[in-house]
Amino acid sequence: MDDPHGTSTRMASPTTKHNLYRGVVFGLLFLTWMIFSGLFDAFHLTLGLISCGIITWMSADLLFEDRTIPLGRRFKQGIGLGSYCLWLLWQILLSNLHLFRLAFSPKEALQPHIVRYETKLKTDFEKYLLANSITLTPGTVTIKIMGDTFYIHAISDFAAKGLDGEMERRIARIFAQQQLEKPVEAQTT
Partner 1 sequence: MIATVISIIFIIAGLIFFIGGAVGLIRFPDFYTRTHAAGKGDTLSSLLVILGFAIYQLKDFESFSHDWLTLLVILKMLGISLFILITSPTSTHALMDAGWEDGTKPEIHPNRPNHLNDDCEKF
Interface contacts to partner 1, rule CB under 8 A: 32, 35-36, 38, 85, 92-93, 95-96, 99-100, 102-104, 107, 110-116, 131-132, 135-136, 139, 141-144, 146, 149, 151, 153, 155, 157
Beta-carbon contacts of 22 under 8 Å, excluding residues fewer than 6 positions away, are 56, 60
Rank residues 26 and 151 by Cβ distance to partner 1 and give the closer one: 151
Rank residues 14 and 38 by Cβ distance to partner 1 and give the closer one: 38
Q: Which amino acid is at 183?
A: P
Rank residues 48 and 139 by Cβ distance to partner 1 and give the closer one: 139
Rank residues 63 and 110 by Cβ distance to partner 1 and give the closer one: 110
| CB of residue 95 to partner 1, shortest distance in Å | 5
